[in-house]
Structure 1
């Protein structure tokens, strides 16, 4: 029968978390850093996916997960040796499991050409014996007796926390459920019970339980009993290898909830009867063990509809605009500086910023899941090209707006594939070039100057610029006699339809990859830069705004218009003296600062305003630095203020404007355009500066 869509959505959301845990565990196993608990965590992730998928009759997913967990069970029982071949197959199985989850979510058939080979490889580790089909049928658990030779003994210890009782759970019900699995021997440690009623709290976890269970072949049924409370108690399940030593605790010979429940509630009775000097030592150990547990519980997440978060972010944006309006009104009222309103307004500003940062943190998420997807993309691309490539990830904890993370998947996929297909050489070519046979690809993320930077660095052959130029001429993108710098040649890669591949393959050759990259990054308000050294490798840098809604900006006046420049791009402001300026060419000027010459860009002229009559010494220069250009100076008429502004997109309401990244609403209700310093600098080509040689001062001249 069809499942409720909301329940299915919850299942797939949980699958995402489980797949992340699966990938982390398999990566640790591949790197040789795994212990038994890591293997158990990988096993539990696959088992959880299988169990939940069975409830929705997702047979393809259940069948594959069953075979996968069977192999993992052999691994954690130390019956299979974790060599490179097994680890490779396990990673491939993890990729296929993720594909099957995605296929189930999209309600499309599984790709048997991809699934069956991995199933066969998994089966090769289990031998030729076929497992019974009943393993795939999810029915109520039944008890089996008379098979003691194959039944193991397990020790289950658990100590409920405050949250356990506050949620209405009862430990005796859990013990009763364990009793249905086999024979149990239960003891309770009450050494932590307070000695007086005044300090007793009914929902505090004073009592810890110790259950010896005989009658199960593995720990799966036990974990199923605790699946809804495992994060609410300190749980440990271990296989008993030898006869355990028993502390003198209170015996519970029979597990009948109705009979025993009053005894637990009447806690004072055993208090006086438990002065045994031996229990304090293990009790202290239990305290140390449980001290680490709240850290895990603190990592629990609350799932919220993204639309609700978007509405909250919009409300915060309006709050910041309202704060600007109030500031404007107070300024117009010309109140004395001693007025208490100014102190109240400062408090309002701090509160608005704190709320804004808190709301943005809700939308932020680490790039780790995205990077883990790229690990798989890299493995598939390496297999398809026959190359040995190791993908190294750095800065996985860097947090980015959720919208940005989701829309980064396609651009990063294209760039990873291109780096492996075009950048990194084949093993034999690398050996000839004196490089290790194993190619390295580094994917890193970090924050810099209020922006998020993602870099893809390979140690391949670098960009073949003569080949790129030849292809660009062939496709009519440039003329035969065009004089292009290395940087301009590199950016031809982003031209629509451009490709240097000689033939179309599954990875490249259709000329849509890098065009998609630039389009996707630009749509996010970001930019892409390329740096390549022949024979050493290539670096692609993606720079994205830290948030898509609010930014700190400098309010400026350009040609009588109020505009905003992002603070993150400004290094300093300068009021130039005549001695600081040097003429070059017909109309260009340079700013001399700390022994270097920096080109000056007239922002008004660049944006199409009439030519200025104001002298450069009467204007303000904003010294900026961007990802794609060295230092430049933007000439503006005046600086008004520095404030937080709410970024509004121009794309939907007007369209793309060269040099403008968006707009904002000021406190007086006027609209101010937000300058894109990187585009302003990179599209301004003062050719007379490129090979300039300042007379009497041969120092290097910075070029935009």
Structure 2
């Protein structure tokens, strides 16, 4: 290790990357295993599951996680027999694999946290795996099937009675490293099978000046003394890129193929044993001579006949990606946000200067604005991810929990590809889990009870995601019994959440399920009863600037809507003037703006004013009264009504003095310096350097009617104080 500790830091970086990749692999594994419970996987699906397990095993071996390697080897042995058709897929097999996947995930977590698991932690599932494999035909049948799979090799190739000698020739293509293959890991896996001798061919290695660090120039011949089978060796090279040539030959009882004089000239040296500490140097031969043109990769002369017959078919370009720490993306987003603000200020100053001088705007000003906008959209796209990564966990939850409770439930999902900011994605898992558990435990009836009231015995939970205006709406609905409001109110009174003489509306009773410590369960179980479910949902959703709505119909079911901002960083906004203040309306929520005729205005009561448009009456919200803004237009007929859409398809009209213009808005949170303000979701900096508040349409739509009517102006609130800053 170097004195500056760089080797240690490199190792830690690779270790972090390994566990990040494990988490992604385990998420994909969960999706495929969940699908296996519903229907038989095709060959590609089984191969994907096998690759996932094998990739974890290979990486774990490189880092010395022996316990993880041992378990994964048994796990992938069962998968191997499944994909070879030696064991038929069944619900029992799916259950074993899913529980095996859970054990695998726990072992990965334990390795990441550097803690030990119990010595017998994997014993039960390993015993089940062994039992399933024995039922698949016994050792003799397995040996016969393996022998048939590897071709004309003798039975001794599959089940050797003693140590055998194997000669393995690996001739990689030039893109070996580009396809993420690491020869050192292959060598270490071979070394784990027995005594290994390695020799390297460095014929194609050019001088340093002509070398491309991304290309592969070396080839290897291995001699392995081991009791392993040909299939064991083939598994080592399972995921080696198909541009590599691999030849496995049983040389037991005879001398390995002699090195020809040409091969000696090509750089095959003497046989040398592999030392674990010097493995990285196994292929570091010195190229001699002047500066020859780069030779073709090793193994070109021994390529398959099909490749020699003509030019190899071109491979489709693989999707490329790069792993970047989220905090770096956040810094980039913040920097681009500041650039947008600066560009807006510059545009405003140049526009005022052009008006003063009576000239046209400076050339390139509009181009700069367009490029800045495109840059911000590109940066924001980096942070966007589909909600599928969260939705994929829910089918397993529904199956496990419904099975434990004896209920029959079908989960339907839609909108999984709806994209949302990554920072929001990470906060959705717990709320969705609690909501699904609540629907299963409290909402859904037992099959016999459903049949008794004329429902199908299998209930349905629908999980969906969609973009609505500037929000993403995630809905969890069920066709269960709905909220038992009488029981909820009684429990709330017993727990002292509401006074014993309280008279509440249906909506207010429904909202009680979000009270901290509230639960209708009669006893505490591992599923419910502790009162720490739905209040966690509301708290987590509010923490990311969203909110939750609940609607319930007795005997028909319940729907929860999560309204979450599409992103926490940027939005397209319309700047509106209300008196001397400026507010921002999300442009995606605006339907239209108009100046109503006095005949279109009506008062529903002393506290609610409506406007009629195309036969529809829409409630009016006056920002000047809501936020106590002086010198603003109070009469909608003298100002403008901006019609905006809210979740669920409803509309409200917001009265403003005038529309200033559209602008891309960089969202700044107020939570760090102010208490939450009802009706305000954040703030931004305008081109003139002043602060403008961003309106929360959903909250405005449900705020008290007496505040928005204009008849009873409220006292100045926090929003007015913030706006005055």
- Same fold? TM cut 0.5: yes
Which structure 2 residues correspond to residues 338-377 of structure 1 after superposition, within 5 A?
A: 341=361, 344-377=364-397
Residue 459 of structure 1: how far off its partner (Å):
2.9
SS in 2 for 1:557: strand
2:672 to 642, 652, 664: 652
Aligned counterpart in structure 1 of residue 576 of structure 2, from 553, 556, 559: 556
Whole-angstrom distance in 1 between the partners of 2:133 and 2:667: 58
Partner of 1:512, secondary structure, is: coil
Question: Which of 430, 442, 451 is the aligned partner of 1:422?
Answer: 442
**Superposed counterparts of 1:154-553, under 5 Å:** 163-164=175-176, 217=229, 219=231, 221-222=233-234, 224-225=236-237, 230=241, 233-234=242-243, 259=265, 283=310, 287=313, 290-292=314-316, 294=317, 297-298=318-319, 300-335=320-355, 341=361, 344-479=364-499, 484-553=504-573
The counterpart of 1:78, out of the listed 63, 71, 85, is 85
**Mapped pair 1:669 → 2:669:** no
| Partner of residue 109, structure 2 | 102
How far does residue 279 in structure 1 lie from its aligned partner after superposition?
6.2
2:156 equivalent to 1:147: yes
Corresponding residue SS for 1:407: coil
Find 2:705's aligned residue among 685, 691, 704.
685
User: 1:488 and 1:417 mapped to 2: Cα distance?
Assistant: 22
Greater Cα offset, 24-33 or 651-660: 24-33
Pairs within 5 Å for 1:568-579: 568-579=588-599
Does the Cα contact within 8 Å between 2:610 and 2:619 map onto a contact in 1?
yes
Shift of 1:498: 2.2
Match for residue 610 of structure 2? 590
In 1, Cα distance between equivalents of 2:361 and 2:267: 62
- The match for 1:6 is 13
CA RMSD of aligned residues (A): 4.8
Structure 2 CA distance for aligned equivalents of residues 408 and 158 of structure 1: 47
Gaps of 5+ in 1: 132-144, 183-200, 206-212, 241-251, 690-704
Instruction: Give the Cα–Cα distance (whole angstroms) in 1 for the partners of residues 504 and 180 of structure 2.
Output: 72
What residue in structure 1 maps to residue 68 of structure 2?
A: 61
- In 1, distance between residues paired with 2:431 and 2:181? 47
SS at match of 1:672: strand
* Local SS of the residue matching 1:310: helix
Aligned to 2:23: 16
Q: Is the 8 A contact 1:606 1:680 kept in 2?
A: no
Q: Distance in 2 between matches of 1:369 and 1:264?
A: 48
Q: Is the 8 A contact 1:554 1:566 kept in 2?
A: yes
Distance in 2 between residues matched to 1:264 and 1:170, nearest whole Å:
26
Q: Does structure 1 conserve the Cα–Cα contact (< 8 Å) formed by 2:481 and 2:554?
A: yes
C-alpha separation in 2, matches of 1:168 and 1:119: 31
Once the two structures are superposed, residues 180-221 of structure 1 have per-residue CA deviations (whole angstroms, 9 ceiling, x without a partner) of 999xxxxxxxxxxxxxxxxxx99999xxxxxxx999735553
Q: Could you tell me whether the CA contact under 8 Å between 1:529 and 1:628 is conserved in 2?
A: no
Matches of 1:166 and 1:88, distance apart in 2:
37
Change (3 A) 1:126 1:592: same
Q: TM-score, normalised by structure 1?
A: 0.77
Q: Is the 8 A contact 2:414 2:464 kept in 1?
A: yes
Q: CA deviation at 1:402?
A: 1.5
Deviation at 1:59, TM superposition (A): 4.5
Instruction: State the TM-score, normalized to the length of structure 2.
Output: 0.75
Q: Match of 1:61, SS?
A: helix
Q: CA distance change for structure 1 residues 41 and 661 in 2, over 3 Å: closer, same or farther?
A: same
Residue 486 of structure 1 and its aligned partner are, at CA, apart by: 3.5
Q: 1:159 deviation in Å?
A: 11
1:30 corresponds in structure 2 to 37
Return the alpha-carbon distance in structure 1 between the equivalents of residues 640 and 51 of structure 2. Answer: 63
Unaligned runs of 5+ in 2: 1-7, 140-153, 196-211, 217-223, 250-257, 269-291, 710-725
In structure 1, the residue matched to 2:129 is 122
Matches of 2:651 and 2:598 in 1, distance apart?
20
Residues 584 and 429 of structure 1, relative CA distance in 2, 3 Å threshold: closer
CA contact (8 A) 1:659 1:677 kept: yes
User: Which string of whole-angstrom CA distances, capped at 9 and with x for unpartnered residues, describes residues 44-88 of structure 1?
Assistant: 221222332244443543343233222222222322221111112
